[in-house]
Structure 1
Amino acid sequence: MSSSMPPTPYVANKPKDIPTAEALRARIPGWGVDLDPKDRPSFPREVFDPGSTGAHWEYPEEQQGREGRERSIEHGQLTPVFGTSAPLHGVSGSIRRYAYRYGEGRAAHWLILIFADRVDAWGGHLGSFASLRPDNPITETGVLSEGRRHGIASRLGRRRVDVNHQWLDPIIVGGPWVAATAGAALAARAIARRGRR
């Protein structure tokens, strides 16, 4: 951490009584340990020398196609350059756009994005049935490796942080497949009953 507090552009009420470096060092163990450039391995890279990098601009030219791009409400503008490799599409894209109505500090933002990811995954699963090689939930979800690669033993007695939510994994990954299979079985049963009448 540096001795001067960085600007806080993402909060409405900026702090008026910024503590001094000495006060922070006394209150937070280890605060300011990287103030001396000799203690920072990244220091040579931090030297501002545009001539050595070939940079020839103060602010880069803004990339085209900014309209409709998702942007967190905490940021005043979209970054000058942004990725276009995975554009939003379909129902999952609409859900993701909706998530950006909420700030990144709210659970709603992330839960909606996770839901959009699940919708996108299921769109891919349904699309795979139209191909000659549909998805196989048994081999492609890693369920078989749980028994072959000591999956359960690796979680017990190791103080791993992911064991807190491991009970959710079968529900999130396997639950939709079980529900879809049950739905398909019920639909087939209903069709068979109508055929007998």
Structure 2
Amino acid sequence: MPYTAHKPGPTPDPDALRARIPGWGADLDPSDRPAFPREQPGIETGAHWDLPEQQPGGQGRERSVEHNRLTPVFGTAQPLHGVAGAIRRLAYARYSEGQTPHWMLLILGDRVESAGAHLRSFVSSRPDDPITQSGVLGERGRGPVSSRFGRGRADLNHTWIDPLLIVGPWVVSAVVAVKLGRALFLPASKRRAVPAPRR
């Protein structure tokens, strides 16, 4: 029994395990392991280095706190930038990859970058369309309700929250845009007056 403080019993004999579990111990004999020769010291690999040469330009690159140095080779195609990049740098600089905040910050950085991409699309010639790009129109005529029930679909348990996750950000963005528009373009005299507090 795993995850208990007490050992469940004596360790079975390898012959007993082999008799009980088909294929158990198949890799015990080195001659049965295809990679075995490569596991031996002194094998010529063709590499001219013990450690690859360090790629230049690594200053400021993100590196997990549990690593002493940057990997010898790293990607440069998508450098971190903006608010999303600052969030991701914080995740790498402060938290280990084994900690939940590390991954939650990376997810937050993704969401911030996604929101920024949506906002930038509105000033482009092809703005995002939440209706067609969500794929919701693809279900017309294909039994959108009947296909979800009685078939053991794994995604049925989160169907209720999908509209909130898909439509929610658009509603919040619209509310923020209207409030900003009113604050910037509506004269102060036409804005709704806030009543003074009673004494």
TM-score with structure 1 length normalisation?
Answer: 0.65
When residues 107 and 154 of structure 1 are mapped into structure 2, their CA distance, relative to the original with a 3 A threshold, is: farther
- Name the % identity: 48
Q: Matches of 1:131 and 1:122 in 2, distance apart?
A: 15
Shift of 1:170: 2.8
Unaligned runs of 5+ residues in structure 1 are: 1-20
Matched, 1:173 2:145: no
| Alignment-derived partner of residue 77 in structure 2 | 85
Alignment of 1:1-197 (within 5 A): 35-36=27-28, 44=34, 47-48=37-38, 50-51=44-45, 54-100=46-92, 101-147=94-140, 155-185=148-178
Look up the equivalent residue of 1:123 and give its one-letter code: G
Deviates more, 1:148-157 or 1:123-132: 148-157
TM-aligned CA deviation for residue 103 of structure 1: 1.8
Higher Rg: 2
- What is the aligned length? 171
1:123/1:77 Cα in 2 relative to 1: closer, same or farther (>3 Å)? same
Return the alpha-carbon distance in structure 1 between the equivalents of residues 67 and 144 of structure 2. Answer: 41
TM-aligned CA deviation for residue 172 of structure 1: 2.7
SS class of match (2:85): helix
Measured on the aligned residues, the alpha-carbon RMSD in Å equals 3.9
Letter in 1 for 2:58: R
TM-score (norm: length of structure 2): 0.64
Distance in 2, Cα, partners of 1:112 & 1:153: 38
Gaps of 5+ in 2: 1-10, 192-199
